[in-house]
Amino acid sequence: MTKRMEKNEAVMRGGMNMKKRSQRNVFLFLGILVLCGCAALLSGFGTNVLDQVVWDKFETFQIDPDMNYYASGPHDAYPIVIIGLKKQYELDNDLWRPLAPDPKLFKSLIQRMQFESQKIHQAQRGFVLKSPDGQDVGICYCRLTVRMGLKMGEGNKVIVYTPDMLENSYTIEGGGRGGGGGGGR
């Protein structure tokens, strides 16, 4: 190969590298835009943070006297989710059923939730509910696959959206996917 051909080949490789770098930069820029868009959509929403201590408290049926408890799910017999909100917060929607602080009821509901989850080869976990600014507002017990949102209202009000029923519930009859979409009880 002549020196001139080698030089032309090197220039072409440099052009190819520049093209690859340009493509990579475009994809990087688009990725950043997508992340910023997701962050903008999620701004104002709290998070659920997996927590071993909360999990242990639910698994040992401990009721925290500083919390008000609520349940959501298609059946009173076994909820999909149990949440506990710190008493200084007020639940700002009627999508949840209040639970009396009754140890027998609490234990029974948790055991039924565990039983139903085992039928579909899943397990329950404990989570801390955090406000958008990172403050602990409560706790939650549900399957890892359950998706729900939390948003702070005015003052001490908290809106906790119920999980997506189509994705997260099962019928009593056969254990198959539940019908009817949408969240709610």
Tens digits of per-residue pLDDT, 101-140? Answer: 999 999 999 999 999 999 989 989 999 999 999 999 999 9
Q: In whole angstroms, what is the distance from residue 166 CA to residue 180 CA?
A: 6
Q: Which DSSP letter does residue 134 get? A: S
In this structure, are residues 91 and 158 in contact, taking their beta carbons and an 8 Å threshold? Answer: yes
In a domain, 92, yes or no: yes
In a domain, 33, yes or no: no
> 126: domain range?
47-168
Amino acid in position 68: N
In a domain, 175, yes or no: no
Number of domains in the chain: 1
| Residue whose C-alpha is closest to residue 50's, from 131, 149, 130, 156 | 130
In a domain, 98, yes or no: yes
pLDDT digits (tens, 9 = 90+) for 11-56: 556 655 666 666 665 444 444 434 433 443 445 789 889 999 999 9
Q: Give CA 185 to chain center in angstroms.
A: 18
Query: What kind and span of H or E run contains 160?
Result: strand 157-160
In this structure, are residues 156 and 90 in contact, taking their beta carbons and an 8 Å threshold? Answer: yes
**What pTM, to 2 d.p., does this model score?**
0.67
